[in-house]
Every structure is written in C-alpha cells, then in structure tokens.
C-alpha cells in the first residue's frame, strides 16, 4: 500500500468520479483505475461501486474513509513537524556559528 493510493482513494471518494479525480491528481484515468484496483486487491475489499454515473463508496469504503483521512492527516502533521524541527536545527547551528570566533568557524564547518 502506498501513500499515493490512499490519496487517490480520498480524491475519488470526494469527487465521485475516477476521471475527475485523475485530472485533479494530474495522472491518467487508466493509471488511477489501476492503482485503485491494486489497493482493493491488497485490502481484499471492493471500495467503490462503479457505474456509468460515476463511483460511490461501498459500505466497506465508507468505513475505511475516516481511517484513510486520519492517516493522511497524520502524515501531513509529520511533515509539518519535520519542517519545524529542521528550521529549529538550522537556527541553532546559525546561532552557534554566529557566536563562534571567526578563526574557529572554518575548522568546525
């Protein structure tokens, strides 16, 4: 299971259309359909009911939707936290180098 598959699942559930979701995700419709089918096979569940009117979530898909939303939210939180920690780390090193005598900074860096 890949993060892209979870994002695709969420986008298709939201747009209720594989072709619209593919446009929104900047991928081809066959590629998105294939990715969703692989996700369904891996989970052993049908997530969508496909019809000429578009797609809708199955009962199982409806139950998994909030879990997928939570997972993706947690991943976004992780990325934000990493960005924050990285900026704090850089700021710390900038302070260390700024307070260091100029003749020592080439040795440390």
Average pLDDT over residues 62-90: 90
Interatomic CA distance for residues 91 and 85, integer angstroms: 10
Has residue 7 got a pLDDT over 80? yes
Quote the pLDDT of residue 83: 85
pLDDT-derived band at 85 (thresholds 50, 70, 90) equals: confident
For residues 8-21, average pLDDT: 97
Burial of 74: CB neighbours in 10 Å, binned 0-12, 13-18, 19+:
exposed
Instruction: Tell me: pLDDT of 89 over 90.
Output: no
Instruction: Share the mean pLDDT of the chain.
Output: 89
Strand, coil or helix: 28: coil
Which of 11-15, 64-68, 73-77, 92-96 has the lowest average pLDDT?
A: 92-96
Residue 97: per-residue pLDDT: 61
Q: How confident is the model at residue 100 (pLDDT cuts 50, 70, 90)?
A: low
> pTM score, two decimals?
0.77
């Amino acid at each position: 299971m890949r993060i892209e598959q979870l994002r695709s699942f969420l986008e298709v559930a939201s747009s209720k259309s594989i072709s619209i979701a593919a446009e929104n995700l900047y991928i081809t419709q066959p590629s998105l359909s294939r990715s969703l089918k692989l996700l369904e096979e891996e989970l052993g569940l049908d997530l969508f009911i496909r019809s000429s009117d578009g797609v809708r979530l199955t009962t199982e898909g409806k139950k998994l939707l909030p879990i997928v939303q939570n997972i993706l939210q947690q991943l976004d939180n992780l990325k934000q936290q990493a960005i924050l920690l990285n900026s704090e780390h850089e700021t710390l090193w900038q302070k260390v180098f700024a307070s260091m005598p100029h003749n020592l900074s080439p040795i440390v860096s």
